[in-house]
Structure 1
Amino acid sequence: MSDLILSLEGTEAGHRLALILALTAAFLHAFLGAIQKGRIDPWLSRGAIDTAFIVLTLPIALFFVPRPEGREWLLILGTMPFMFVYKWLLALAYTRAAYTVVYPVVRGSGPFFTVLGAWLLIGETFTPTQWTGVGVLMGGILGLAVYNMRHVQVDRERLVPALWLAVATGLAVAGYTTWGAFAIRGTADPFTYLAWFFVVTAVDMPLIAAWRWRRMSQTPPVRDVFRLGVTGAVIGWGSFGTVMLATRLDKVGEAAVLRETSTVFAAMIGWLVLKETVGPRRVMLMTLIALGAVIVELGG
């Protein structure tokens, strides 16, 4: 598999595969958000997922992929601060406002920061047409955020801090995406980076979740936490793994923008699975998001 990925770098087939991987990441990311929505405390749920990441991935990292060597360890460990900050900010935002308010702001601000980061760190550039597509996509996502803020019952006093946290989380998303792309390109075997990524970036939240569990007056059923952790880890492998592979094969900015169509998938899952109402305004905004992604893809 590693040889296949390496052989496709910089080719038209690699570009097409990167497109498929980025859209797959979008769907899986939306599905991961849906299974976490409102069920369990966000600190506990992330702790359960990260625990499952370590338990399930460490044997793969130790026995089934080449060991990192020299500079590769620095690239892998350099991912840790970005992911730690991302998880902390996201959990803080979710404890202050609803998922439907926070999620679109995080995903809407992320692509802009990622495109800038890819330009600064990797030297990628976007055409004017692609920047137009980024603007259209961000407009649709942030429009969804405004719509949700007007129609979802929220604590107005906590809303402003939650929105600032959501924007900061979007910046953290750009940080780990850009650094991850830089790191996976600097690692000889991409699956070496991915395996150790899921291990080293998962060491923080289990400790926080354990501390929080001991101080909760009423804890959720252990079976539910276990099920969420394993399911979330498996989906997380697909979500993070596919977008990181896409950034190895093709432009980081394009992969990041296409991933943010996850907002469309999230709304569709909410409508089809969670039986939420999707009115004409939300359909229009989702169409804008999809149109923005198409413009970015065609304008490259």
Structure 2
Amino acid sequence: MSEWIISIEGTETGHTVALCLALLAALLHALFGSLQKGRVDPWISRGAIDASQFLLALPIALFLVPPPVGIEWVLIFGALPIHFAYKVGMAQAYSLGAYTVVYPVVRGTGPVVTVIAAWIVFGEVFTLTQWLGVFVLLAGIFGLAIHNLRTIKVARDTLVPAMWLAVVTGALAALYTTYDAYAIRATPDPFTFLAWFFVIASVDMPILAAIRWRRMTDRPDLGHTMRLGVFGAILAFGSFGSVMLATRLDKVGEAAILRETSTVFAALIGWLVLRETVGPTRVALMSLIALGAVIVELAG
């Protein structure tokens, strides 16, 4: 698999595969987000997911991929503080606000920052038409967040702080996307970075979750929580792995934009699974998001 991924970098086949991977990452990321904002406390659910990530990734890292050498270890460990800050921000935002308000703001803040960072770091340039697509997508994402803010009935007193925290968390998502794209490109075998990243970056949240668990009086069912953790870990492997491979195969900015169609999937999940209200306004805004992504891709 590694040899094939490396062989199609920068080719038309690589572009097509990157497109499919970014859209797959969008769907899986929306499912992942809904798990963390489901019935289980978001700190506990994230701890269970990361614990499962560690246990599943460790044998892969030890026995199935080439070990990191030299600067590769530095690149992997360098991702830790960014991802830790992102995970803490995400858990806190979910604690304060409704999923369909928080998630669009997080995902909407990142694209412009990522596109600009990709221009600075990788020399990628968007055309004027692609920038039009970016702003159409952002109009849909932030329009969806504002609409949800006005109509959601739960936790009204904490929704505004949750949205501001979501903006900061979205900026962190852009930062880790750019950093990780650089790291996976600098690692000869992309699966070396992915496997060891999931091992090393998964030890922090289980510790915080265990501390929170001990302080809780009404603890969630442990069996259900661990099953959720395993399912979430599999989704995380697919989501993060897909978008990281997409950034290695093709433009970082385009992969980041296409991943933000996860907001459409998130709205559908909020409606179908979490029983949050969806109406014609939301449908129109979700259509804007999809249109923006299509414009970016066709104009690229």
Normalised by the length of structure 1, the TM-score is 0.97
Does residue 76 of structure 1 match 2:65? no
* Equivalent pair of 2:38/2:274 in contact (CA under 8 Å): no
2:283 corresponds in structure 1 to 283
Q: Match for 2:46: what amino acid?
A: R
Structure 1 unaligned regions, length at least 5: none
* Equivalent pair of 2:99/2:270 in contact (CA under 8 Å): no
Distance 1:159 1:108 in 2: 17
* Equivalent pair of 1:113/1:170 in contact (CA under 8 Å): no
Distance 2:274 2:160 in 1: 27
Does residue 26 of structure 1 match 2:26? yes
Q: State the aligned residue count.
A: 300
Q: Match for 1:65: what amino acid?
A: V
Q: Match for 1:47: what amino acid?
A: G
Q: Match for 1:171: what amino acid?
A: A
- 1:224-235 map, 5 Å: 224-235=224-235
Q: Match for 2:255: what amino acid?
A: A
CA distances 1:122-144 after superposition (whole Å, capped 9, x unpaired): 22121111111110001101101
Shift of 1:245: 0.2
Distance 2:51 2:275 in 1: 31
Distance 2:209 2:277 in 1: 33
1:101 corresponds in structure 2 to 101
Q: Percent identity?
A: 65
Does residue 140 of structure 1 match 2:131? no
- 1:117-132 map, 5 Å: 117-132=117-132
Does residue 181 of structure 1 match 2:181? yes
Distance 1:129 1:154 in 2: 39
Shift of 1:235: 0.7
- 1:200-211 map, 5 Å: 200-211=200-211
1:165 corresponds in structure 2 to 165
RMSD: 1.2
* Equivalent pair of 2:9/2:249 in contact (CA under 8 Å): yes
Normalised by the length of structure 2, the TM-score is 0.97
* Equivalent pair of 1:48/1:226 in contact (CA under 8 Å): yes
CA distances 1:64-114 after superposition (whole Å, capped 9, x unpaired): 000001111111111111100100111111111111111110011111111
Q: Match for 1:191: what amino acid?
A: F
Does residue 43 of structure 1 match 2:43? yes
2:9 corresponds in structure 1 to 9
1:260 corresponds in structure 2 to 260
* Equivalent pair of 1:26/1:262 in contact (CA under 8 Å): yes
CA distances 1:151-173 after superposition (whole Å, capped 9, x unpaired): 10244442332111100000010
3-state SS of paired residue (1:153):
coil
* Equivalent pair of 2:26/2:262 in contact (CA under 8 Å): yes
CA distances 1:238-297 after superposition (whole Å, capped 9, x unpaired): 000000000000000000000010111122233444554421111100100000000100
Distance 1:111 1:14 in 2: 21
Distance 2:199 2:140 in 1: 35
Following superposition, which runs of at least 4 residues in structure 1 exceed 6 angstroms of deviation? none
Distance 1:81 1:121 in 2: 20
Q: Match for 1:255: what amino acid?
A: A
